[in-house]
Homo-oligomer: A and B are copies of this chain.
Protein backbone atom coordinates (compact mmCIF):
# COMPACT_ATOMS: atom_id res chain seq x y z
CA UNK A 1 0.00 0.00 0.00
CA UNK A 2 1.21 3.44 -0.91
CA UNK A 3 2.38 5.45 2.09
CA UNK A 4 0.10 8.40 2.85
CA UNK A 5 1.81 11.76 2.43
CA UNK A 6 2.55 13.41 5.74
CA UNK A 7 3.84 16.64 4.19
CA UNK A 8 1.19 19.23 3.45
CA UNK A 9 1.48 22.44 1.49
CA UNK A 10 -0.92 25.10 2.79
CA UNK A 11 -1.91 28.23 0.92
CA UNK A 12 -3.40 30.90 3.16
CA UNK A 13 -5.81 33.40 1.55
CA UNK A 14 -8.30 35.64 3.26
CA UNK A 15 -8.14 33.72 6.51
CA UNK A 16 -8.82 30.28 5.09
CA UNK A 17 -6.19 27.73 4.11
CA UNK A 18 -6.17 25.22 1.32
CA UNK A 19 -3.95 22.20 1.91
CA UNK A 20 -2.55 19.78 -0.66
CA UNK A 21 -0.71 16.54 0.21
CA UNK A 22 2.86 16.71 -1.13
CA UNK A 23 4.39 13.49 -2.48
CA UNK A 24 7.60 15.10 -3.67
CA UNK A 25 9.29 18.43 -4.33
CA UNK A 26 10.59 18.27 -7.89
CA UNK A 27 12.04 21.76 -8.29
CA UNK A 28 12.71 24.85 -6.21
CA UNK A 29 14.41 28.06 -7.31
CA UNK A 30 14.26 31.71 -6.44
CA UNK A 31 14.13 33.56 -9.76
CA UNK A 32 14.72 37.30 -10.14
CA UNK A 33 10.99 37.83 -9.55
CA UNK A 34 9.57 35.07 -7.39
CA UNK A 35 9.95 31.82 -5.51
CA UNK A 36 9.19 28.89 -7.83
CA UNK A 37 8.22 25.42 -6.63
CA UNK A 38 7.18 22.36 -8.61
CA UNK A 39 5.57 19.74 -6.38
CA UNK A 40 4.06 16.32 -7.01
CA UNK A 41 0.67 16.35 -5.26
CA UNK A 42 -1.22 13.21 -4.33
CA UNK A 43 -4.27 12.86 -6.59
CA UNK A 44 -3.54 16.09 -8.51
CA UNK A 45 -0.40 15.45 -10.56
CA UNK A 46 2.20 18.20 -10.56
CA UNK A 47 1.62 21.67 -9.11
CA UNK A 48 3.28 24.97 -9.96
CA UNK A 49 3.56 27.22 -6.89
CA UNK A 50 4.76 30.83 -7.19
CA UNK A 51 5.43 32.83 -4.01
CA UNK A 52 3.45 30.28 -1.95
CA UNK A 53 0.36 30.55 -4.19
CA UNK A 54 -0.85 27.58 -6.22
CA UNK A 55 -0.86 28.61 -9.88
CA UNK A 56 -1.96 25.32 -11.33
CA UNK A 57 -2.20 21.60 -10.77
CA UNK A 58 -2.30 19.17 -13.68
CA UNK A 59 -5.66 17.85 -12.42
CA UNK A 60 -7.64 21.08 -12.63
CA UNK A 61 -5.70 23.67 -14.66
CA UNK A 62 -8.08 23.10 -17.59
CA UNK A 63 -10.85 24.88 -15.67
CA UNK A 64 -8.88 28.12 -15.22
CA UNK A 65 -7.34 28.10 -18.69
CA UNK A 66 -10.52 27.28 -20.60
CA UNK A 67 -12.45 29.96 -18.74
CA UNK A 68 -9.87 32.74 -19.04
CA UNK A 69 -9.79 32.18 -22.83
CA UNK A 70 -13.02 30.88 -24.37
CA UNK A 71 -15.71 33.35 -23.20
CA UNK A 72 -13.75 36.16 -24.89
CA UNK A 73 -12.64 34.24 -27.97
CA UNK A 74 -16.14 32.91 -28.65
CA UNK A 75 -17.66 36.36 -28.13
CA UNK A 76 -15.34 37.92 -30.71
CA UNK A 77 -16.63 36.90 -34.18
CA UNK A 78 -13.18 36.45 -35.73
CA UNK A 79 -10.23 36.74 -33.29
CA UNK A 80 -6.91 36.84 -35.15
CA UNK A 81 -4.34 38.76 -33.08
CA UNK A 82 -4.09 37.87 -29.39
CA UNK A 83 -1.90 39.30 -26.62
CA UNK A 84 -1.23 37.38 -23.39
CA UNK A 85 0.39 39.21 -20.48
CA UNK A 86 1.88 36.69 -18.03
CA UNK A 87 0.70 33.13 -18.59
CA UNK A 88 4.24 31.79 -18.98
CA UNK A 89 3.03 28.27 -18.20
CA UNK A 90 1.43 28.22 -21.66
CA UNK A 91 -2.05 27.04 -20.58
CA UNK A 92 -3.82 30.08 -22.01
CA UNK A 93 -1.86 29.83 -25.25
CA UNK A 94 -2.89 26.17 -25.59
CA UNK A 95 -6.57 27.15 -25.36
CA UNK A 96 -6.25 30.19 -27.68
CA UNK A 97 -4.69 27.98 -30.36
CA UNK A 98 -7.87 25.88 -30.44
CA UNK A 99 -9.45 28.81 -32.33
CA UNK A 100 -8.70 28.36 -36.02
CA UNK A 101 -9.06 32.08 -36.80
CA UNK A 102 -6.08 32.98 -34.57
CA UNK A 103 -3.06 33.96 -36.65
CA UNK A 104 -0.67 35.25 -34.06
CA UNK A 105 -0.18 35.27 -30.28
CA UNK A 106 2.26 37.53 -28.44
CA UNK A 107 3.06 36.08 -25.00
CA UNK A 108 4.71 38.66 -22.74
CA UNK A 109 6.10 36.96 -19.63
CA UNK A 110 8.42 38.79 -17.24
CA UNK A 111 10.04 35.67 -15.80
CA UNK A 112 11.94 33.41 -18.23
CA UNK A 113 12.29 30.80 -15.46
CA UNK A 114 8.51 30.20 -15.44
CA UNK A 115 8.60 29.33 -19.13
CA UNK A 116 11.56 27.00 -18.66
CA UNK A 117 9.87 25.26 -15.72
CA UNK A 118 6.65 24.88 -17.73
CA UNK A 119 8.51 23.37 -20.69
CA UNK A 120 10.41 20.95 -18.41
CA UNK A 121 7.75 19.90 -15.89
CA UNK A 122 4.37 20.66 -17.51
CA UNK A 123 4.50 19.43 -21.11
CA UNK A 124 0.69 19.14 -21.43
CA UNK A 125 0.26 22.75 -20.32
CA UNK A 126 3.15 24.34 -22.25
CA UNK A 127 2.44 22.36 -25.43
CA UNK A 128 1.42 25.42 -27.46
CA UNK A 129 4.51 27.51 -26.69
CA UNK A 130 6.45 25.96 -29.58
CA UNK A 131 3.68 26.63 -32.11
CA UNK A 132 4.83 28.82 -35.01
CA UNK A 133 1.98 31.31 -34.38
CA UNK A 134 3.35 32.07 -30.88
CA UNK A 135 5.94 34.77 -30.27
CA UNK A 136 7.40 34.78 -26.74
CA UNK A 137 8.67 38.08 -25.30
CA UNK A 138 10.62 37.90 -22.03
CA UNK A 139 9.66 41.37 -20.92
CA UNK A 140 7.65 43.38 -18.42
CA UNK A 141 4.05 43.56 -19.69
CA UNK A 142 3.74 47.16 -18.47
CA UNK A 143 6.65 48.20 -20.67
CA UNK A 144 5.49 46.08 -23.61
CA UNK A 145 2.06 47.71 -23.89
CA UNK A 146 3.65 51.17 -23.55
CA UNK A 147 6.14 50.64 -26.38
CA UNK A 148 4.57 48.30 -28.93
CA UNK A 149 2.50 49.74 -31.78
CA UNK A 150 0.73 46.47 -32.52
CA UNK A 151 -3.06 46.17 -32.27
CA UNK A 152 -4.91 43.15 -30.92
CA UNK A 153 -8.40 41.66 -31.06
CA UNK A 154 -8.04 40.12 -27.61
CA UNK A 155 -5.78 40.84 -24.62
CA UNK A 156 -5.61 38.35 -21.75
CA UNK A 157 -3.98 39.37 -18.47
CA UNK A 158 -3.11 35.95 -17.05
CA UNK A 159 -1.20 37.08 -14.01
CA UNK A 160 -0.43 35.98 -10.49
CA UNK A 161 -2.25 37.56 -7.52
CA UNK A 162 -2.21 41.39 -7.42
CA UNK A 163 0.75 41.56 -5.06
CA UNK A 164 4.47 41.57 -5.87
CA UNK A 165 5.44 41.61 -9.55
CA UNK A 166 1.80 41.56 -10.78
CA UNK A 167 0.49 44.52 -8.75
CA UNK A 168 0.89 47.11 -11.52
CA UNK A 169 -1.15 44.93 -13.91
CA UNK A 170 -4.24 45.92 -11.93
CA UNK A 171 -3.60 49.67 -12.00
CA UNK A 172 -5.23 52.28 -14.22
CA UNK A 173 -2.12 53.38 -16.13
CA UNK A 174 -1.43 49.89 -17.45
CA UNK A 175 -5.06 49.45 -18.48
CA UNK A 176 -5.17 52.78 -20.30
CA UNK A 177 -2.13 51.70 -22.30
CA UNK A 178 -3.58 48.23 -22.87
CA UNK A 179 -6.91 49.65 -24.08
CA UNK A 180 -5.03 51.59 -26.77
CA UNK A 181 -3.47 48.36 -28.02
CA UNK A 182 -6.89 46.88 -28.75
CA UNK A 183 -8.84 47.21 -31.99
CA UNK A 184 -12.12 49.10 -31.75
CA UNK A 185 -14.00 45.85 -31.22
CA UNK A 186 -11.32 44.43 -28.89
CA UNK A 187 -11.87 42.45 -25.69
CA UNK A 188 -9.76 42.38 -22.52
CA UNK A 189 -9.84 39.65 -19.84
CA UNK A 190 -8.09 39.77 -16.47
CA UNK A 191 -8.08 37.26 -13.59
CA UNK A 192 -9.69 38.93 -10.59
CA UNK A 193 -9.43 36.77 -7.48
CA UNK A 194 -12.09 35.33 -5.16
CA UNK A 195 -15.29 37.43 -4.92
CA UNK A 196 -16.18 36.06 -1.49
CA UNK A 197 -12.98 37.29 0.11
CA UNK A 198 -11.98 40.18 -2.22
CA UNK A 199 -15.28 41.88 -3.06
CA UNK A 200 -13.81 45.38 -2.60
CA UNK A 201 -10.79 44.63 -4.80
CA UNK A 202 -13.08 43.50 -7.63
CA UNK A 203 -15.39 46.48 -7.21
CA UNK A 204 -12.44 48.91 -7.41
CA UNK A 205 -11.00 47.17 -10.45
CA UNK A 206 -14.38 47.35 -12.23
CA UNK A 207 -14.62 51.08 -11.50
CA UNK A 208 -11.18 51.64 -13.05
CA UNK A 209 -12.01 49.53 -16.11
CA UNK A 210 -15.33 51.31 -16.68
CA UNK A 211 -13.39 54.54 -17.32
CA UNK A 212 -11.90 52.77 -20.36
CA UNK A 213 -14.46 50.20 -21.59
CA UNK A 214 -18.23 50.69 -22.00
CA UNK A 215 -18.85 46.99 -21.28
CA UNK A 216 -17.36 45.51 -18.07
CA UNK A 217 -18.66 42.20 -16.70
CA UNK A 218 -17.51 39.90 -13.93
CA UNK A 219 -17.78 36.18 -14.52
CA UNK A 220 -17.19 33.35 -12.10
CA UNK A 221 -16.07 29.75 -11.81
CA UNK A 222 -15.24 27.25 -9.08
CA UNK A 223 -11.65 26.04 -8.78
CA UNK A 224 -10.86 23.10 -6.49
CA UNK A 225 -7.26 24.07 -5.75
CA UNK A 226 -7.70 27.83 -5.27
CA UNK A 227 -8.79 28.79 -1.75
CA UNK A 228 -12.24 30.40 -1.44
CA UNK A 229 -14.45 28.26 -3.68
CA UNK A 230 -15.57 30.81 -6.25
CA UNK A 231 -13.06 32.67 -8.43
CA UNK A 232 -13.59 35.35 -11.04
CA UNK A 233 -12.44 36.98 -14.25
CA UNK A 234 -13.34 40.41 -15.54
CA UNK A 235 -14.45 40.76 -19.15
CA UNK A 236 -14.10 44.25 -20.68
CA UNK A 237 -14.99 45.24 -24.22
CA UNK A 238 -15.54 48.23 -26.48
CA UNK A 239 -18.32 46.59 -28.46
CA UNK A 240 -19.46 43.04 -27.70
CA UNK A 241 -21.81 41.91 -24.91
CA UNK A 242 -20.67 38.34 -24.08
CA UNK A 243 -24.21 37.09 -23.38
CA UNK A 244 -25.54 38.46 -26.69
CA UNK A 245 -23.76 35.86 -28.82
CA UNK A 246 -26.20 33.27 -30.19
CA UNK A 247 -25.75 29.81 -28.69
CA UNK A 248 -25.91 28.30 -32.19
CA UNK A 249 -23.00 30.42 -33.40
CA UNK A 250 -20.87 29.39 -30.44
CA UNK A 251 -21.85 25.77 -30.99
CA UNK A 252 -20.80 25.76 -34.63
CA UNK A 253 -17.27 26.91 -33.75
CA UNK A 254 -17.02 24.93 -30.50
CA UNK A 255 -17.85 21.60 -32.18
CA UNK A 256 -14.51 21.70 -34.01
CA UNK A 257 -12.50 21.61 -30.77
CA UNK A 258 -12.23 19.63 -27.54
CA UNK A 259 -12.90 21.25 -24.16
CA UNK A 260 -13.45 19.70 -20.74
CA UNK A 261 -15.18 22.59 -18.95
CA UNK A 262 -16.35 25.20 -21.46
CA UNK A 263 -19.36 24.62 -23.67
CA UNK A 264 -22.04 26.92 -25.18
CA UNK A 265 -24.23 26.73 -22.06
CA UNK A 266 -21.30 27.39 -19.71
CA UNK A 267 -20.65 30.55 -21.79
CA UNK A 268 -23.92 32.00 -20.46
CA UNK A 269 -23.75 30.22 -17.09
CA UNK A 270 -20.52 31.89 -15.97
CA UNK A 271 -22.07 35.33 -16.43
CA UNK A 272 -25.50 34.38 -14.99
CA UNK A 273 -24.06 32.68 -11.91
CA UNK A 274 -23.21 36.04 -10.28
CA UNK A 275 -24.48 36.14 -6.70
CA UNK A 276 -27.04 38.82 -5.89
CA UNK A 277 -24.73 40.33 -3.24
CA UNK A 278 -22.14 41.10 -5.93
CA UNK A 279 -24.69 43.00 -7.99
CA UNK A 280 -25.76 45.12 -5.03
CA UNK A 281 -22.31 46.15 -3.83
What residue of chain B has the Cβ atom nearest to residue A59's Cβ?
B196
**Contacts A196-B60, A276-B263, A277-B260 known; A224 to B16 CB distance under 8 Å?**
yes
Stretch of A7-15, A107-115, A117-125, A173-181 with 4 or more beta carbons under 8 angstroms from chain B? A7-15
Kindly list the 6 A-B residue pairs having the minimum CB-CB distance in the complex, ordered from nearest.
Answer: A269-B272, A17-B19, A222-B230, A269-B273, A222-B222, A15-B43
> Which residues from chain B contact A227 at a C-beta distance below 8 Å?
18
Pick the contact of A224: B21, B230, B265, B271 (CB < 8 A).
Answer: B230
In the bound complex, CA of A36 to CA of B262 (Å): 40
Q: Does the CB pair B265–A277 fall under 8 Å?
A: no
> Which residues from chain B contact A19 at a C-beta distance below 8 Å?
10, 16-19
New A-B contacts (12) at CB < 8 Å, excluding given A259-B276, A266-B276: A15-B42, A17-B17, A19-B19, A196-B224, A220-B222, A222-B222, A229-B230, A262-B276, A263-B276, A263-B279, A266-B275, A268-B269
> Which residues from chain B contact A265 at a C-beta distance below 8 Å?
272, 274
> Which residues from chain B contact A275 at a C-beta distance below 8 Å?
63, 260-261, 266
The size of the chain A interface, using a CB distance under 8 A, is 48
A170 CB–B CB distance under 8 Å:
no
> Which residues from chain B contact A229 at a C-beta distance below 8 Å?
222-226, 229-230
Q: Does the CB pair B279–A274 fall under 8 Å?
A: no
In the bound complex, CA of A209 to CA of B155 (Å): 45
Q: Does the CB pair A15–B21 fall under 8 Å?
A: yes
Pick the contact of A273: B15, B196, B224, B266 (CB < 8 A).
Answer: B266
What residue of chain B has the Cβ atom nearest to residue A196's Cβ?
B224
Q: Mark A190-201, 1 if CB is under 8 A from B, else 0.
A: 000010110000
Within the complex, the shortest CB–CB distance from A150 to chain B, in Å, comes to 33
Within the complex, the shortest CB–CB distance from A30 to chain B, in Å, comes to 26
Most chain B beta carbons < 10 A, residue from A44, A260, A268, A272: A272
Pick the contact of A268: B42, B196, B263, B268 (CB < 8 A).
Answer: B268
Q: Mark A9-43, 1 if CB is under 8 A from B, else 0.
A: 01000111111110000000000000000000011
> Which residues from chain B contact A262 at a C-beta distance below 8 Å?
276
A157 CB–B CB distance under 8 Å:
no
What residue of chain B has the Cβ atom nearest to residue A11's Cβ?
B19
In the bound complex, CA of A20 to CA of B18 (Å): 9
> Which residues from chain B contact A269 at a C-beta distance below 8 Å?
268-274
Q: Mark A87-128, 1 if CB is under 8 A from B, else 0.
A: 000000000000000000000000000000000000000000
Q: Does the CB pair B18–A18 fall under 8 Å?
A: yes
Q: Does the CB pair A225–B270 fall under 8 Å?
A: no
> Which residues from chain B contact A223 at a C-beta distance below 8 Å?
229
Within the complex, the shortest CB–CB distance from A186 to chain B, in Å, comes to 26
